[in-house]
Amino acid sequence: MPPSTDLPLPSPEEAAHSARLLAALRAEIAREGPLDFARYMERVLYAPGLGYYSAGRTKFGAAGDFTTAPELGAVFARCVARALAPALGRGRTFLELGAGSGAFAAAALAEWDRLGALPDEYLVLDTSADLRERQAATLETRVPALAGRVRWLDAPPSAPWRGALFANEVVDALPVRQFCWRGADGLFERAVDATPDGGLRMVERVADAPMRAAFARAIDDPATLPVPYVSEVAPQLGAWFAAVAGALADGVALFFDYGYPRAEYYLPQRATGTVVCHYRHRAHADPLWMPGLSDVTAFVDFTALAEAGHAAGFLPACYASQAQFLFATGLSEVGDTGAIDDVAMRLALAQEIRMLTLPGEMGERFKALAFLRGFDAARLPWLAIDQGHRL
Ligand SMILES: C[S@@+](CC[C@H](N)C(=O)[O-])C[C@H]1O[C@@H](n2cnc3c(N)ncnc32)[C@H](O)[C@@H]1O
């Protein structure tokens, strides 16, 4: 049964698809024992041919499961493109991680074309093979003259390169491990086990040494937490950052996602963790429901992301809310409705800006974190909005 009464019922095809992934998960559990949450998340998102990101679900837009900032219209991409333009142009490369439907790529390329800042190449690194086809189709339709600059990679660049790297809502998909702090009873790790009736359930086992170390890094004083207290840590973040950005020798890396600085992430009131699943525009909190049909994500600990970048040789240079970032990078120009005669278009643009910037929508929940390596900070005036002291 759906975890909440307002989740739509999956179609018979979806249910059959999920049943195949469930069978694969149960077979793995029978072989290996309960799967820690990171392994479970990796399988439900990326299992070849079965996972959410590898099995052809619509994902984006009205018919999909969620809407991202680039899907709302061109405003977000145009502001990001303007912000990164000083790091691009001739002899420079742009790398987008997790390019979704290709909407960001199309709008950003068009903006750089207008600004005379087109990079030589627009590289895309995406784990989802079917999304690559969709990205190519979006580019052919929206910016046919620029689509030839885009190239899809199977692995991050290994030779040194110069330019900018960008990822919107990708870090939240990196697998996280889940802990449960039980006060005097100690620290446990949550794992996914098979039930005798053919389903899955969450179990707990005593935390191992890496989990205890991650907990100690994340939580200053466990005595301040309610018991039980469930939350997440992202053990793969450092290695992932180094892998995707390690060869960027001169440029900017910019990440957007929902999340908090560490001091706000592990607050007592967030006692059930930050995992959020999306199914047909409904957010729900049960990652075990119909595996493979929901996007499973966790909020990003931006302090951990800053540490990961720093360890990979980057300077964290600007942390800001999405709203602050957009206001500092051209929103008033890009979002100027005054020049638009068509009333419907004017209203649509105003609504897009509200969604992107209002605190109750994406404006505050989403954050931007920019890193520099070998690049002169003075060339990016918007770095002045940095709230890095909050990290
Ligand atoms: C929530 S979507 C965001 C898509 C797009 N950036 C947007 O804003 O619309 C996540 C995207 O990241 C991709 N993805 C997930 N995990 C990834 C990873 N580890 N490396 C690269 N891409 C990944 C997915 O295939 C998908 O394109």
**Ligand 1 center to 341 CA (angstroms):** 36
Q: What is the pLDDT of residue 256?
A: 98
**Ligand 1 center to 120 CA (angstroms):** 23
Residue 92 domain flag: yes
Mutate to test the pocket of ligand 1, among 76, 168, 170 (most ligand atoms within 8 A of CB): 170
CA–CA distance, 375 with 386 (Å, rounded to integer):
17
Residue 220 domain flag: no
- Domain with 351, as residue range(s), is 69-174+236-266+299-390
Quick check: 207 and 189 in contact, CB under 8 A?
yes
**Ligand 1 center to 31 CA (angstroms):** 30
**Ligand 1 center to 126 CA (angstroms):** 6
What are the pLDDT digits (tens) for 79-93? Answer: 999 999 999 999 999
Between 283 and 129, name the one with better pLDDT: 283
Q: Above 80 in pLDDT, residue 391?
A: yes
Q: Phi and psi for 367 in degrees, rounded to 5?
A: -125, 155
Q: Above 70 in pLDDT, residue 57?
A: no
- The number of folded domains in the chain is 1
CA–CA distance, 59 with 277 (Å, rounded to integer):
12
Residue 131 domain flag: yes
Quick check: 49 and 342 in contact, CB under 8 A?
no
Identify whether 359 is preceded by a cis peptide bond (ω within 30 of 0). Answer: no
DSSP 27-51: HHHHHH-SEEHHHHHHHHHHSTTTS
Mutate to test the pocket of ligand 1, among 72, 94, 127, 276 (most ligand atoms within 8 A of CB): 127
Residue 166 CB less than 6 A away from ligand 1: no
Residue 190 domain flag: no
**Ligand 1 center to 343 CA (angstroms):** 34
Average pLDDT rounded to a whole number, residues 338-353: 91
Residue 322 CB less than 6 A away from ligand 1: no
Q: What is the pLDDT of residue 58?
A: 64
What the block records as the tokens of 257 is 């996602």
**Ligand 1 center to 179 CA (angstroms):** 25
Residue 328 CB less than 6 A away from ligand 1: no
Residue 131, helix vs strand vs coil? helix
Average pLDDT rounded to a whole number, residues 224-231: 97
Nearest Cα residue to atom 12 of ligand 1? 98
CA–CA distance, 127 with 51 (Å, rounded to integer):
11
Residue 120 domain flag: yes
pLDDT band at 1 (very low <50, low <70, confident <90, very high): very low
Average pLDDT rounded to a whole number, residues 5-27: 91
Question: Whole-number mean pLDDT of the chain?
Answer: 95
pLDDT band at 205 (very low <50, low <70, confident <90, very high): very high
CA–CA distance, 304 with 261 (Å, rounded to integer):
8
Residue 100 CB less than 6 A away from ligand 1: yes
Q: Above 60 in pLDDT, residue 5?
A: no
Q: What is the CATH number of the domain that holds 364?
A: 3.40.50.12710
Residue linked to tokens 């929206």 = 142
pLDDT band at 368 (very low <50, low <70, confident <90, very high): very high
Residue 327 domain flag: yes
Average pLDDT rounded to a whole number, residues 292-314: 97
Q: What is the pLDDT of residue 127?
A: 87
CA distances from 87 to 81, 120, 300, 389 (A): 10, 12, 26, 25
Q: What percent of the chain has pLDDT over 70?
A: 97
Residue 131 CB less than 6 A away from ligand 1: yes
- Name the CA dihedral angle for 60, 65, 66, 70, rounded to a multiple of 10 degrees: 0
Q: What is the pLDDT of residue 326?
A: 98
